[in-house]
Amino acid sequence: MTEWSQFAERHWIAGGILASLLWFIAGRQSLSNRRPGYAMFWQGIGVFILIVLCVSAAVGQEWLGLSLGLAVLLAEAIWIRTSNAARGGQQ
């Protein structure tokens, strides 16, 4: 195995959280560009990645990874809710 694949195998939870946050940030950028349909799509991909990560961590009994994934999932849900409330107030 190469060093990169070993690194990815050991730190898959951090990689999954990072990937989810990148998709989520892409959604926030779409929202700032006034494209709410795309924003929800990109943010939904980020949330989906976290849900898969949490299920995989629970099956693998990676409790720290599960708790980190759930914390980021909660933060993303709160950000989606506040951005939707702010967008509703602007219309």
pLDDT band at 48 (very low <50, low <70, confident <90, very high): very high
User: For residue 2, what is the DSSP state?
Assistant: -
Per-residue DSSP letters for 3-32? HHHHHHHHTHHHHHHHHHHHHHHHHHHHHH
What tokens were used for 54?
């949490």
Q: How confident is the model at residue 88 (pLDDT cuts 50, 70, 90)?
A: low
Mean confidence (pLDDT) of the chain: 85
Tell me what pLDDT residue 37 has. 79
